[in-house]
Amino acid sequence: MRVAFFIFVVVIAILQYRFWFADDGIVYAWRLKKAMHGQQVKNDELAKHNASLGEEIKSLKKGGEAIENRARNDLGMVKKGEVFYQVVN
């Protein structure tokens, strides 16, 4: 009876070890779930960024005012007849 009980305990211990610590065990599943959550957060941030870029593209295609603002801010362009003053501290 004691031998059977000992074998039973050993088998249960081996199965528990596989359940908790094997390559396909519960700890691995927790790590995957955590990584999946982190990737979902990154995907959400990228989706927001893509949406804002899409809106910017629409506004650039739509009218000249957005193009003019972009040229002024990013490229430092000025209109004909304007005077540009740069203040250096």
Cα 26 from Cα 20, distance rounded (Å): 5
Cα 8 from Cα 6, distance rounded (Å): 5
C-alpha distances out from residue 18 to 42, 70, 71, 77, Å: 32, 59, 62, 67
Could you report how far apart the first and last alpha carbons of the chain are, in Å? Answer: 91
* Half-sphere CA count of 29, side-chain side, radius 13 A: 7
pLDDT at 22 over 80: no
Looking at residue 32, its pLDDT comes to: 93
Joined tokens for residue 18: 């596989």
Residue scoring higher pLDDT (7 or 22): 7
Residue scoring higher pLDDT (20 or 30): 30
Question: What residues does each domain of the chain span?
Answer: 2-75
20 contacts 27 by C-beta, under 8 angstroms? yes
| pTM across the whole model | 0.57
